[in-house]
Amino acid sequence: MKPTEILFYALTAITLLSASFVVTARNPIHSVLALIMTFFCLSGHYILLNAQFLAAVNIIVYAGAIMVLFLFVIMFLNLKTDDEESKTTMTKLAAVVVGGVLLVVMVAVLRVGTMATYNPSSYSAKVGLVENLGIVLYKDYLLPFELASILLLVAMVGAVMLGRREPGDRHY
């Protein structure tokens, strides 16, 4: 086996293990930490694909910012004692239905979709580096890129509106 293959299999094994620990862990904090580990391994996969920019952004945005907020909220909620209210039959049933639908969608995508092939002789290994990514984003996909940024702006304004303290609200 080549070194990259060994790396790939090791990374994949760690990714799957930590991802399954996310759903099986009893303690929510352990679960969040395992999720961070999973994001790390995904960044490792990006680096193996020579997409350094994506790897760094994945760590900064997901592992660095979003998961910190997750951890933050879970620490505030203090879920140490098993909360019986959130484990009624209805919630369990709903969780099973949602998970099952997601599984069906993913299986369907895998069955229908075809993998794009590439030509090893003409393939440039630099396709994932930041210069090429920027050129593609700002030349070929400029409109979707700008629309996505407007969507994010709208979401941010909405969040600020929801979180704003109204006159007469309780002051915490």
Partner 1 sequence: MNLTELIIKGILILVLFGVTLLIAMYSTWAERKVAGFIQIRFGPNRAGPGGIFQPLADAGKMFFKEDFIPSQANKWLFILGPCLAILTALMSSAVIPFGESIRYEDLVIPVQGIEINIGILYVFGVVSLGVYGLMVGGWASNNKFSLLGAIRAASQNISYEIGFGLSIIAILMMTGSLSIRAIVEQQHGFAWNLFNQPLGFIIFLTCAFAECNRTPFDLPECETELVGGYHTEYSSMKLGFYLFAEYINMFVSSAIISSLYFGGYNYPGMDWVRETLTGSLGAATGHNLTTLIGTLVLFGKIFFFIFFFMWVRWTLPRFRYDQLMNLGWKTFIPLSILNVVVTGFGLLYDVKYASWAIVIVMVILAMVSSARAPKPAVQPQRS
Interacting residues toward partner 1 by CB under 8 A: 27, 29, 33, 36, 52-53, 56-57, 59-60, 63-65, 68-69, 71-72, 75-76, 129-131
Choose between 99 and 134: whose C-beta lies nearer to partner 1.
134
> Least CB distance from residue 136 to partner 1, whole Å?
16
Which sign does the torsion angle of CA 91, 94, 95, 96 carry? positive
Task: Give the H/E segment covering residue 114.
Answer: none
Q: What single-letter amino acid sits at 81?
A: T
Residue 16 Cβ, how far from partner 1 at the closest point, in Å? 22
The alpha carbon dihedral of 63, 67, 68, 71 has a sign of negative
41 vs 63, beta carbon nearer partner 1:
63
Closest CB 60 distance from partner 1, rounded Å = 5
Q: Residue 134 or 158: which CB sits closer to partner 1?
A: 134
CA torsion angle 53 18 66 129 (round to 10): 0
Which of 35, 15, 51 is closest to 130 using CA atoms? Answer: 51
In a 13 Å sphere around the CA of 68, the CA atoms on its Cβ side amount to: 6
Nearer to partner 1, 15 or 39 (CB): 39
CB of 95 to partner 1, least distance (A): 26
